[in-house]
Amino acid sequence: MLVVGRNGSGKTNLLESLHVGTQGFSPRTRVDGQLVRFGTEEARVAVAGRRAEVPVEVELRLARSGKRATLNGARLRAAEQLRTELATLVFTPDRLALVKGGPAARRAYFDRTLGRISPSRAALPAEYGAAVGQRNAALRRIAGDKVAARIRRESDPLVARIVAGWPRRFDPRRALALGFRGETSFDDIIRVHIDDELSGKIVN
C-alpha cells in the first residue's frame, strides 16, 4: 500500500496509528495521554487484516487512565502483548539519525527488526550486551584498564564459519560425566586463559 498526500495531511499520524494498533504503544511518545484528543475522554484504534489467510482484528482503546486491547475479540492482559503477536516496525522522518548517525543506532534498529520477526529472540541483544559488559568488567579487574582498552569489535570470517557450525543448544551432561568442570565466572575464564595461553603473564 502506498499513501501519498501533502505535508500536514496526516500521513505520519496514520503510520503512528498503525503502530499503536498493532504494538500497543506509540513510537513517538510513551505518554498515552498525548494520544487522546484534547477535550475527549478516550481514543480508539481498530485494525483488521489477514495473516497467512487467517483474519486478524485488533482494537485498542486509550484513556488518560490506561489502555486496553483485544485481539480477535479476546482481551489481552496488557496492550504491549500485541508486539508478541503482530510484527510492525515504523520508520519516521525524525529518525534520520539511523542514516546519518553512528553504527550503534543502526544495529539497535536492526535488533528491533529481528525481534519483531522472531519475538522469541527479541531479548537476545540485551542478554548479549549484558554478557559483553560482564566480560569487559572482568577483564579490567584481572588485567587492568590498559589491556581492556585493546578490545575492538572486528568481524572474523574464519571465526564466523566456526561458530556457524556449533549446535544451537549445548548439553554439558556428557562432559560433566567425564569429569570436566566449567568455569563459573568471567574472572575464572580469563584467569584460565592467561595461565594456558599466556604462560601466566600479561603484557601491558
Cell 485498542 belongs to residue: 60
Distance CA 112, CA 80 (A): 15
Stretch 67-83: mean pLDDT = 89
Distance CA 2, CA 45 (A): 20
Give this prediction's pTM: 0.56
Evaluated on CA atoms 28, 32, 33, 39, the torsion sign reads: positive
Query: Within this chain, do residues 56 and 130 fall inside the same structural domain, yes or no?
Result: no
In a domain, 203, yes or no: no
Length of the chain: 204
Please identify, among 93, 113, 137, the residue that sits at the C-terminal boundary of a domain. Answer: 93
Cell of 2: 502506498
In a domain, 114, yes or no: no
Residue range 97-130, pLDDT digits in tens: 788 888 888 888 888 788 777 777 777 888 888 8
In a domain, 99, yes or no: no
Asked if residue 5 lies in contact with residue 11, where contact means CB atoms within 8 angstroms, the answer is yes
Mean of pLDDT over the chain: 85
Please say if the pLDDT value at position 92 is more than 70: yes
For residue 46, list its beta bridge partners: 59
Whole-number percent of the chain with pLDDT over 70 = 100
pLDDT grade for 138, boundaries at 50, 70 and 90: very high
Q: In what order do the strands lie in the sheet with 66-71?
A: 42-51, 54-63, 66-71, 74-75
SS3 60: strand
Stretch 176-195: mean pLDDT = 86
Please, which residues have CB within 8 angstroms of residue 33's CB and are 6 or more apart in sequence?
A: 64
Of 64, 19, 66, 27, nearest in space to 45 by CA: 19
Distances in Å between the Cα of 3 and the Cα atoms of 10, 17, 93, 112, 161 are 10, 14, 15, 24, 43
Stretch 153-179: mean pLDDT = 83
pLDDT at 53: 86
Helix axes 186-197, 124-143, angle to 10 degrees: 60
Stretch 39-62: mean pLDDT = 90
Distance CA 113, CA 116 (A): 5
In a domain, 119, yes or no: no
Please say if the pLDDT value at position 169 is more than 90: no
pLDDT at 197: 81
Please, which residues have CB within 8 angstroms of residue 154's CB and are 6 or more apart in sequence?
A: none
Please say if the pLDDT value at position 204 is more than 70: no
pLDDT at 60: 93
| Segment among 38-42, 114-118, 137-141 with least mean pLDDT | 114-118
Q: CATH no. for residue 51?
A: 3.40.50.300
Stretch 26-45: mean pLDDT = 85
Query: Within this chain, do residues 178 and 133 fall inside the same structural domain, yes or no?
Result: yes
Please say if the pLDDT value at position 47 is more than 80: yes
The domain total for the chain is 2
pLDDT at 81: 85
Q: Which domain holds residue 161?
A: 124-197
Strands 74-75 and 66-71: what pairing? antiparallel
pLDDT at 48: 93
Stretch 31-53: mean pLDDT = 87
